[in-house]
Amino acid sequence: MRPRLFYRWRTALLLILTAAARLAAQNPPLYTKWINYTPANGFPEGEVYSVAVEGHRVWAGTAHGLALIENGRVRKVFTTANGLAGDAVMSVAIDPRTGDVWAGTFGGLSRYSGGRFKNYTNLSSGLANDLVYGVAVQGRYVWVATAAGVNRFDTYTGAWSIWNETNAPFEEPWCYGIVATPKKIYVAAWGGGVLVYDLAGRYWKPYTDPDGSMEIVLYRNEGLIHNIVSGIAYNSAMRMFWASTYFGLSGFDGRNWHNYLTKDSGLASNFINGVQTRGNEVWACTQKGLSEFDYKTKVWVTYRPANWRALDAAKAVKDSPGEVIVTWPDGKKRKLTTATSLAHNYTLNLAFQGKDIWVATAQGLSHGTIQISAGGKN
Amino acid sequence: MMLWKPIFVAGLLLTWLIGFGETEATSAQKPPAHPIPYASIGAVHYDGPNRQPAYDLKGAVIRIGLLAPLHGPQKAEGLAIVGAAQVALRNATRHPLAGGRKLALAIADESVPPWGALGDEIIRMVLQQKVIAIVTSADAVSAHLSEQIGNKIGVPVLTLSSDPTTTEINMPWIFRLGPSDTAQAHMFAGNIYRARGLRRVLLVAARNHDGRVGSTAFVKSARELGEPPPATLFVDSFQPSLAPLLSGIRAHSPEAIVFWTSPQDVSSLVPPLREAGIHAPIYLCQAATQQGSGLTFPVDRMRSEQHLQSNGIWTVIPPGWGDSVEQKFARRYQTETGTPPTPIAAEAYDAITLIVKSLRQAGPNRARLRDRLATVHHYLGASGRICFDDKGNDQAAFQLVRLQGPKALVQRPRP
């Protein structure tokens, strides 16, 4: 009798847990309120390439300068006229110790400190190239992803280090993104896959597409999806790095690869411009909207303007309704409509501010919040 | 009742055995010859912004960016590309653009140090000169840097580089003219290993991105034909003396030599090889046949199997080469520059012409121009038929031809 009772209890518990998981999966928290920053409210026109959050301040790297939003208002737009190295700002990072803002531009690297810019270029410093695609702060060091390799700048001594195909296992020196963690540096390389630098061991480890072909994925979880990597993020909770490519999303947990394409997931598009992670969430910035993947529940949510297919022909983007598509692990989808939406379906990057998200799109910066009703329901 | 249990168990066992046996037999009978890929890059579709008239380029002059080497050892090929582009622009501007706008070339020198100033040059063209599109030379580094910038800013890039990896990445902004390294490698390998049955093959490749990508394509083609990888020698552009390399080539006693190098390497390596009595057929990638190689076009047409077996210098050209459109361009080009055009010069002419034609339809808008270029499927240009597939590759059929080079290069062929 005893074992039978045990099995009954175990079955019941499993059923309850499954039901709870299902229930939880049915109600993922959704971002339903969007405030967009466009030329209409003093924000620069065109693409927003990067965004970084520092408390109540939001820094956005745009096609026409570095914009500062404070308490929901556009405070200032810095351009080359204000001393910025280049007007097209590809990346922004904030030093949490000093509050200095580092901007990677198409005219070099800029440091905004004490209300002034100091610029580092190929000719004036050890910067490998003036095309700066990514910047990350790790303690006293600033790591820079350029079109000619990776730089490390020591803010204490002013010394520059460089890694490229001549002194590290870089297939190509073209670096498109970088993220720093206390132990490792992760680099997204155009043509070279993902490169990881071990800070303690002082060595690089490359991760490349193992099938040897640029145009196919031979087996689903064979390794990195593609060698052209557009963005990189590290999640300390999952202990995984996530790489965005123009052919799908790849995650690596140290042993296994977890690849996602539109054909087998709720990913909006395989063309992914950037990736960020938080908790169990992986956010893919695609050309067909912003896709959120809950790694634990395997539920996908995609956000984009409802009229996204006709958006480019439309005159007014502001306040257009939004479209939310929830894709369950079994592939079933549910479409919801929201009153407001992302500024554009072509998303480029993302930053978190508590529970809020700031999304860099091709036509403005979008601030997304989870709206909870009086009944506590989203 | 008692009988049912053993019968049931026996039945189960039998079913399992039969089923298991069938599975094994089926998998044994049909082994997958080639694993089916889990996913393939499909048609590239661009869902990005900026097609509205508000994003049209302003100003009375619309500029087309052109990257070419204008100094140093590759100056000759750069000037050839610029010359062809100028012929195309003069031809295309006989009729003004809508609104009376004028067209101009924004030329940037790519012979600056590649990891430093080249990026700045491209940025200057894109952000300051506001070019509507960029045409890059046969150099793959220029092509990739332009592609990376074009992808962020949204600028169409037409490249003359044969590097296939420029278009194998689901990227909507790039279009590649001419035969890819893969296509050229297949043709060379097929002729060497299959048509001629040669085995002692030597691959001479430049020690740079182009040499690495091209030689990889050739090794892959050889492997696909079931042949061992060829012996490979690398040419360093800073090599003080070519003597060790020449003796290295001679030591291999090759039956066929494949060059994936610059035109300058061809001009300095091939004549001494011929003088040393090495008359093995030489295969040149298209980039190696540019101005500076000492080679001239036209070419010997292959019309028989016997012709295919002949020695000499071989390369790949578009099938339309020598047709009326090309001849018309060749006459104009020769009149204006004093030299006959190479296929890459003709591709430069086509790239500019295609941009202007598409610009007339799309208006001065980079995103709309991109959309228009993506619809070019059957365009008969000076370099032959141009047929972009849905990934931006030129899918026109190409052919292997023997060059009629100057006597210094092509000595009397082996009987």
Tell me the pLDDT tens digit for each residue of A312-350.
Answer: 665 545 568 999 999 999 999 999 999 999 999 999 999
pLDDT confidence of residue A238: 95
Chain B residues whose CB is inside 8 A of the A247 CB are 39, 41, 169-170
pLDDT confidence of residue B197: 94
pLDDT confidence of residue B305: 47
Integer Cα distance of A348 and A145 in angstroms: 17
Contact B48 A362 (CB under 8 A): yes
Is A266 within 8 Å of A327 (Cβ atoms)? yes
Q: Do domains B58-180+323-396 and B181-317 have the same CATH topology?
A: yes
Picking from A128, A133, A346, the nearest residue to B48 by CB comes out as A346
Distance from A191 to chain B by nearest Cα, in Å? 8
pLDDT confidence of residue B2: 52
Q: Read off the amino acid at residue B80.
A: A
Q: Read off the amino acid at residue B342.
A: T
Chain A residues whose CB is inside 8 A of the B171 CB are 228, 246
**B223-to-A351, B1, B185, B227, B285 alpha-carbon distances in Å:** 47, 66, 11, 5, 19
- Please give the share of chain A, as a percent, with pLDDT higher than 70: 89
pLDDT confidence of residue B276: 85
pLDDT confidence of residue B410: 31
Candidates A62, A89, A106, partner chain B, best to mutate (most B CBs within 10 A):
A106
CATH number assigned to the domain with residue range B181-317, chosen from the 4 options 3.40.50.2300, 3.40.50.300, 1.10.3720.10, 3.30.420.40: 3.40.50.2300
Letter string b/e over residues A247-259, b meaning 16 or more CB atoms within 10 A of that residue's CB = bbbbbbeeeebbb
Pick the residue from chain B with its C-alpha nearest to A268.
B47
pLDDT per residue as tens digits for the range B99-133: 889 999 999 999 876 557 899 999 999 999 999 99
Picking from B40, B148, B170, the nearest residue to A174 by CB comes out as B148
> How many contacts does A have with B, using Cβ atoms within 8 A?
126
Cis omega before residue B364 (within 30°)?
no
Give the residue with greater pLDDT, B279 vs A163. A163
| Partner A, chain B 354-373, Cβ-Cβ below 8 Å | 367
pLDDT confidence of residue B294: 75
DSSP β-ladder status, B384-386 and B282-284:
unpaired
pLDDT per residue as tens digits for the range A249-263: 999 999 999 999 999
- Alpha-helical (H) ranges within chain A are 2-26
B238 touches chain A (CB under 8 A): no
DSSP A188-227: EEBTTEEEEEETTTTEEEEE--TTS-SSEESSTTSS-S-S
**B122-to-A224, B167, B300 alpha-carbon distances in Å:** 30, 19, 39
Contact A218 B169 (CB under 8 A): no
pLDDT confidence of residue A102: 98
Distance from A314 to chain B by nearest Cα, in Å? 8
Mean pLDDT of A228-253: 97
Contact A49 B144 (CB under 8 A): no
- Alpha-helical (H) ranges within B154-302 are 181-189, 209-224, 243-252, 263-275
Average model confidence (pLDDT) across chain A: 92
Is B119 within 8 Å of B149 (Cβ atoms)? yes
Q: How confident is the model at residue A308 (pLDDT cuts 50, 70, 90)?
A: confident
- Per-residue pLDDT tens digits of chain B, which is 415 residues long: 455 666 666 656 555 544 444 333 344 445 455 678 899 887 888 999 999 999 999 999 999 999 999 998 889 889 999 999 999 999 988 888 888 899 999 999 998 765 578 999 999 999 999 999 999 999 999 999 999 999 999 999 999 999 999 988 889 999 999 999 999 999 999 999 999 999 999 999 999 999 999 999 999 999 999 999 999 999 987 777 778 888 899 999 999 999 999 998 988 888 888 888 888 999 999 999 888 887 766 555 444 444 545 568 888 887 766 676 778 888 899 898 888 888 889 999 999 999 999 999 999 999 999 999 999 988 989 888 888 988 888 888 888 888 764 432 332 223 2
B112 touches chain A (CB under 8 A): no
Picking from B35, B115, B164, the nearest residue to A218 by CB comes out as B35
Picking from B49, B149, B171, the nearest residue to A344 by CB comes out as B49
> Tokens at residue B168, please?
């194998």
Integer Cα distance of A286 and B74 in angstroms: 40
What is the C-alpha end-to-end distance of chain A, expressed in Å?
A: 45
Let me know the angle formed at the C-alpha of B56 by A73 and A134, rounded to the nearest 5 degrees. Answer: 55
> Tokens at residue A251, please?
């995650």
Q: At the fourth CATH level, which superfamily is domain B58-180+323-396?
A: Response regulator (3.40.50.2300)
**Domain parsing of chain B, residue ranges:** 58-180+323-396, 181-317
DSSP β-ladder status, A333-338 and A347-353:
unpaired
Candidates A216, A258, A273, partner chain B, best to mutate (most B CBs within 10 A):
A216
Distance from A122 to chain B by nearest Cα, in Å? 7
**B81-to-A226, B74, B202, B259 alpha-carbon distances in Å:** 33, 11, 30, 21
Is A349 within 8 Å of A231 (Cβ atoms)? yes
